Amino acid sequence: MHFHDCFIRGCDASVLLNSKGNNKAEKDGPPNISLHAFYVIDAAKKALEASCPGVVSCADILALAARDAVFLSGGPTWDVPKGRKDGRTSKASETINLPAPTFNISQLKQSFSQRGLSTADLIALSGGHTLGFAHCSSFSKRVHNFDATHDWDPSINPSFAVQLKSICPLKNRAKNAGTIMDPSSTTFDNTYYKLILQNKALFTSDQALIDSQEGKNLVFKFAASKKAFYEAFVNSMIRMSSINGGQEIRKDCRFIN
């Protein structure tokens, strides 16, 4: 959720604002339909407002919650720099600026560099895909009618492609069909990178990480060493979470003041 926030207008908690009237907010944009548990942020904000009103922004709460989610899933911890402000604008149409699961390596690099982030940041932050769930819409085009000569993306391990086809059939698909991001999807580890090297990455954008020499070197490094991945992830998270935005400290994370 923190990543989905920072890549639109900076880390300003615009992803938490509710849609209102004719304005459809970021949280209702297509890439954000899988975001949930906003109530966790609401509960943290309520407790903070009760003890020190008007001091801690929703954007800071999101950054801290991202750190805690990683740590509680068995990953590293770090000191989160604070002092972010909350934004007053949130548009679903702007979620088109999020890196898409269909992106190739040059599109990914461009998306990150526009936000002052390097290829090394891209490879490290993508490791966040060790946690969570993906809907079929994010990857089903890789395993059905891929192109004129292939039914599935030739960069996918064939047994994995067959597995994904059964989870996401073209007809009679369950409403919220999808799959976990990696087999240890509740544990923050380096399995994600090992899967890429086995051609078992879920998204085109995951498999694309080894399509540049720098990316390939880092994927090998992180697959071999959880410690190296953790160190890089922490540094890149701190860099990403310092992308500025925002003008105020909201009283309620779902509404501007």
Say whether 4 is catalytic: yes
Q: Which of 2, 4, 36, 135 is catalytic?
A: 4
Residues forming a β-bridge with 167: none
* Cβ neighbours, 10 Å, residue 19: 15
Cα-based distances in Å from 120 to 129, 180, 229, 255: 16, 25, 11, 35
Nearest to 111 by CA among 194, 7, 200: 7
Eight-class DSSP state of 93: G
Strand partners, 197: none
**Cα–Cα distance measured from residue 203 to residue 196, given in angstroms and rounded to the nearest whole number:** 10
C-alpha 206 chain-centroid distance = 12
Q: How many CB atoms lie within 10 A of CB 114?
A: 10
The H-or-E segment that residue 179 falls in is: strand 178-180
Catalytic site residues?
Answer: 4
